[in-house]
Amino acid sequence: MSAEIPSKYDPIQTEDKWYSYWMEHKLFKSVPDSREPYTVVIPPPNVTGVLHMGHMLNNTIQDLLVRRARMQGKNACWVPGTDHASIATEAKVVQKLRAEGVKKSDLSRDQFLEHAWEWTHKHGGIILEQLKKLGASCDWDRTRFTMDEKYYESVVDTFIDLYKKGKIYRGERMINWDPAALTALSDEEVIYREVNSKLYHVRYRIVGSDEFITIATTRPETILGDTAVCVNPKDERYKHLHGKRAIVPLVNREVPIIADEYVEMEFGTGCLKVTPAHDMNDFMLGEKHKLEIINMMNDNGTISEAGQLYVGMDRFDVRKQIAEDLQNSGNLVKIEELINKVGFSERSDAVVEPRLSLQWFVDMKELSKPALDHVMNDDIKFFPSKFKNSYRNWMENIKDWCISRQLWWGHRIPAWYAPDGQFEVAKTKEEALQQFSQKGIAVDVNSIRQEEDVLDTWFSSWLWPISVFDGFYSDEEVDYYYPTNDLVTAPEIMFFWVARMIIAGYEYRGDLPFRNVYYTGIVRDKQGRKMSKSLGNSPDPLDLMKKFGADGVRVGMLLSSPAGNDLLFDESLCEQGRNFANKIWNAFRLVKGWEEKVDKNLTQSQAAKTAVNWMQSKFNSTLVTLNDDYDKFRINEALMTTYKLVWDDFCAWYLEMIKPPFGQGMDATTYEASVDILEKLLGVLHPFMPFLTEEIWHYLKPRTEGSSICTASWPVSSNVDSNILSSFEKMSEVVIGIRNLRKEKNIPNKESIEMIVRANQEPDKEFDAVIQHLCNIQSITYSADKPTGCFSFVTATAEYFIPFTQQIDVEEEKKKIDAELTYVRGFLKSVESKLNNERFVNNAPTAVLESERKKQSDSLAKIQMLEEQLKALN
RNA sequence: GGGAGCAUAGCUCAGCUGGUUCAGAGCAUCUGCCUUACAAGCAGAGGGUCACAGGUUCGAAUCCUGUUGCUCCCA
């Protein structure tokens, strides 16, 4: 046997073999049937993305949940797919074309889209192939893409529906503008970073006076668009200026001096210039105080005609130039260094420009209400629940959602414009024409044109849990699989995606999209830095899997990642995972090796019988804990529970307890029980380590073609004998005592010894045979008297004696007993101080009191034993 | 500026409704072992003022208040 089964587990060979087997036998395929469904939809990765460590963590957890559910007999359905990721993908295609010397502006929309599709077909789906290496048990027949024909249609239909309901409108609003990508961004696509800036102090002359007022700004170029100066009404320094006017330097425009609580008196000079067209807060001030709006910037970040000066220059060049010009005109008071936060585009990394722009919006106020309520009342549960707070905070202050993007790659907005600018929202040009004519607007096929903009990527992904089941056009699948069960995702996209799926779920299905949301942490490197391409600190997941095996990496990922906490990734975690795999492998080799040593004539030894009984109870009681860990999404604890059950209980204790002495055979009863236990262990291990467990499962017993541990049953807990569990605890104390004694006294393990036990209560002999087996003890005798000429050690309930095999150091022994006495006396003192406290005795619950009294009597007995030992030595 | 969270062993974290000397786990470290499944292993050991200061209580890592430090989200 050992010739066939290698001594080290080799993951590379087995993984591909079993993944093909699983695919071949369609073990992950799901179609609606009479079973309870268990559904998970994958957070669709970018279609042209490659697998990174974040995906590894996220998909390992999903696979774990799905595999367990499948074993529990549920109809497990994990839907994979990809997202068209409009900005990210378009940027990549633009970049690729540029490298080939083609500018996007030289192409027509259709030509560009052709390139984009080509790119998508070439690079799309790589990531899905990589997920298979990880062992992901998705139903690949269901793979969806957010720009699939049907999916595209559902996005467009949703737009039209919301428009008809009055939830979508077109309007001029302050939006985040990306001057590099030339597109609007949603608030969530703006990343704020601290940068070193300069705070320019600029003085404005007061009209009709020689007095100046000094404002402070980090963006002096926007002076060109100033339409007011603002101070805090409570600010004594400026009270005399309320209602007066100031002159904007260089452009010499007269603007009002207004007062508003918004101004912070402590910041800068306590005086603010107001540029409503180029700052969110200034825009609000402008609306409130009815200020003029001067849009002094072009979409590419250069100064427009309205700016009067520096027309056509870039905003950052102007910033330098205007500082000089203000200096020359005598208006620049001083420049301070300042660290402030500046918004950058998530995609192009350009400094975002707040800009007034005509865009499409979703009115979120009403739509979001059920989504808030159903999370707050736990219809949808968040794990960990702390994320409910930020969710509520966001939902209660929700802003309208800017959904138009000035891009080509994506779902084109179904709006049609007449030459005069009037528009109709309709699915097709024909319908649009009809709608125009119904309103008496004379247009024809050639005069109307479709909106150029596409929709925000998230406007398609928010339909994901419905659209993957064709839920907008057919009930068959969606009625069965929806609501899905668990969503596993990163907290970073709680607002982008999770919140909006919940909104769409209630709007279009009248029901929650998923019952539980498990938020994973961010995978960071050992030093706590985010993994990124530029830092080069992210290992390649495929390399890791080659090195440690997919199972090893899976275990490594889960070892230290409690829900919502960041994971400080270190290869040594995968090493630990690989070592665990090897440990299981060797345990299996040991058990399997006994198969040919089974001797039908042998009867089961008492030690083995006890061991089997104990292991069964231990397994069953641990399974209860394990199921509870899963139910509470304590994933890493579920792993640790399993890890200890296998490594400590099964390998370190059980296998040693039943291991026959060298050269002897194994009885059939114990062998069969062991195979049975190992099979159950493989069951609870399978979600963590699918490949290894499948390999061993097939070795362990003859299996029929097509059978798999993937669809074997998750073990069911039964019969927990709590007596044997507590007897085991006592036994392990004794065994550790003997091992220590042997070590201290240099009594080799091979030397068989006697043991005498003096118990202060009815002795627990349950594990005596096991103790003899584990510690090479010839006989255990019980005695009321104290034997002489022995080493000894003491547990809570008994005293153990091993006869001397050589001279002993009396002083050394006395020292040890003294130390133990000191400890137990201290313990007793702390217990008695409680018991002597009348208020404790009167107030503490009976159970607590009783346990204290038990402690008292146990330690009194122990002290007596130790004192006697000491006396005996003297 | 607004909101949320965290602080426990060298590291990563448990510690659920206050109650075993409650101060735990895994890893790392140290010591001894190549013992016939496994050195990717076995047997042991050390290591912490539970951030700080108060308070509530018979009893606080746990509940309350303040302080300090850190993180995240939002503007």
C-beta within 7 A of nucleic chain B, residues 78-97 of A = none
> Which run of H or of E encompasses A76?
strand A75-79
pLDDT for A156 = 97
Residue A501 contacts residue A464 (beta carbons within 8 Å):
yes
Q: Report the DSSP beta bridge partners of residue A782.
A: A757
Mean pLDDT of A636-662: 92
Through-space distance between the first and last CA atoms of chain A, rounded to whole angstroms: 58
Q: What is the largest CA-CA distance in chain A?
A: 118
Q: Give the distance, in angstroms, between residue A700 CA and nucleotide B33 C1'.
A: 32
CA A557 to chain centre: 11
| A700: confidence class by pLDDT, cuts 50, 70, 90 | very high
d(CA A123, CA A51): 12
Q: Residue A105 above 90 pLDDT?
A: no
C-beta within 7 A of nucleic chain B, residues 660-679 of A = 662-663
Q: Is the distance between the Cβ of A341 and the closest atom of strand B smaller than 7 Å?
A: yes
Residue A819 tokens read as 């130390």
pLDDT for A2 = 39
d(CA A229, CA A259): 8
Count of beta carbons in the 10 Å neighbourhood of residue A40: 25
pLDDT for A1 = 39
Task: Report CA-CA distances (Å) from A3 to A7, A67, A587, A593.
Answer: 9, 32, 16, 11
Residue type for A689, please? M
| A580: confidence class by pLDDT, cuts 50, 70, 90 | very high
> Which run of H or of E encompasses A507?
helix A499-508
| A581: confidence class by pLDDT, cuts 50, 70, 90 | very high
| A186: confidence class by pLDDT, cuts 50, 70, 90 | confident
pLDDT for A634 = 87
pLDDT for A555 = 94
In terms of C-beta distances under 8 Å and separation of at least 24 residues, what long-range contacts does A430-433 make, across chains too?
A: none
**Closest C-alpha to A800, from A764, A853, A751:** A764
d(CA A640, CA A688): 11
Task: Report CA-CA distances (Å) from A860 to A220, A797, A825, A864, A867.
Answer: 82, 11, 8, 6, 11
> Which run of H or of E encompasses A401?
strand A401-402
d(CA A407, CA A86): 8
Q: Give the distance, in angstroms, between residue A388 CA and nucleotide B53 C1'.
A: 32
pLDDT digits (tens, 9 = 90+) for A730-775: 898 899 889 888 887 778 788 888 899 988 778 888 999 999 999 9
Count of beta carbons in the 10 Å neighbourhood of residue A115: 18
d(CA A858, CA A874): 25
pLDDT for A119 = 93
Q: Give the distance, in angstroms, between residue A708 CA and nucleotide B47 C1'.
A: 46
Q: Give the distance, in angstroms, between residue A583 CA and nucleotide B41 C1'.
A: 9
Q: Is the distance between the Cβ of A845 and the closest atom of strand B smaller than 7 Å?
A: yes
Q: Residue A4 above 70 pLDDT?
A: no
Nucleotide showing the shortest C1' distance to residue A742 CA: B43
Q: Quick one: CA dihedral A458, A460, A465, A466, positive or negative?
A: positive
Residue A639 contacts residue A688 (beta carbons within 8 Å):
yes
pLDDT for A533 = 66
pLDDT for A805 = 66
Nucleotide showing the shortest C1' distance to residue A266 CA: B1
d(CA A751, CA A441): 106
Q: Report the DSSP beta bridge partners of residue A174.
A: A356
Q: Which residue has the higher pLDDT, A539 or A796?
A: A539
pLDDT for A272 = 86
C-beta within 7 A of nucleic chain B, residues 818-837 of A = 823, 826-827, 829-831, 834, 837
d(CA A484, CA A37): 9
pLDDT for A806 = 61
| A386-390, A524-528, A533-537, A797-801: range with lowest mean pLDDT | A533-537
Residue-averaged pLDDT of chain A: 88
pLDDT for A456 = 92
Residue A505 tokens read as 């779920």
pLDDT for A833 = 74
- The strand order across the sheet containing A415-417 reads A423-425, A415-417, A449-450
Q: Which nucleotides of B are covered by protein (CB under 7 A)?
A: 2-6, 11-14, 19-21, 25-28, 35-45, 57-59, 72-75
Mean pLDDT of A567-576: 86
User: For residue A589, with 0-12 CB atoms within 10 Å meaning exposed, 13-18 middle and 19 or more buried, which class applies?
Assistant: middle
| A124: confidence class by pLDDT, cuts 50, 70, 90 | confident
Angle at A661 between CA A656 and CA A664, to 5 degrees: 130
C-beta within 7 A of nucleic chain B, residues 592-621 of A = 593
pLDDT digits (tens, 9 = 90+) for A288-343: 888 888 889 998 889 999 989 899 999 999 999 999 999 999 999 888 877 777 88
Residue A643 contacts residue A554 (beta carbons within 8 Å):
no
Residue type for A719, please? N
Q: Quick one: CA dihedral A605, A608, A612, A617, positive or negative?
A: positive
Mean pLDDT of A501-510: 95
Q: Is the distance between the Cβ of A262 and the closest atom of strand B smaller than 7 Å?
A: no
**Closest C-alpha to A77, from A26, A40, A106, A122:** A40
Nucleotide showing the shortest C1' distance to residue A842 CA: B58
Q: Is the distance between the Cβ of A386 and the closest atom of strand B smaller than 7 Å?
A: yes
Residue keyed to tokens 């007897």? A727
Torsion angle in degrees (nearest 10) through CA of A489, A713, A642, A765 = 160
What secondary structure, in 3-state letters, does A688-730 show? CCHHHHHHHHHHHCCCCCCCCHHHCCCCCCCCCCHHHHHHHHH
Q: Is the distance between the Cβ of A855 and the closest atom of strand B smaller than 7 Å?
A: yes
Report CA Rg, chain A: 37
d(CA A350, CA A300): 11
Q: Give the distance, in angstroms, between residue A634 CA and nucleotide B25 C1'.
A: 14
Q: Report the DSSP beta bridge partners of residue A355.
A: A175
| A205: confidence class by pLDDT, cuts 50, 70, 90 | very high
**Closest C-alpha to A234, from A262, A261, A212, A216:** A261
d(CA A30, CA A23): 12
Count of beta carbons in the 10 Å neighbourhood of residue A619: 23
Global pTM reads: 0.87
* Of A260-274, A362-376, A783-797, highest mean pLDDT: A362-376
Residue A623 tokens read as 């399974």
| A31-35, A268-272, A550-554, A597-601: range with lowest mean pLDDT | A268-272
Task: Report CA-CA distances (Å) from A89 to A179, A181, A480, A716, A819.
Answer: 18, 12, 34, 48, 71
Residue A90 contacts residue A112 (beta carbons within 8 Å):
no
Residue A259 contacts residue A229 (beta carbons within 8 Å):
no
Nucleotide showing the shortest C1' distance to residue A652 CA: B42
What secondary structure, in 3-state letters, does A274-308 show? ECCCCCHHHHHHHHHHCCCCCCCECCCCEECHHHC
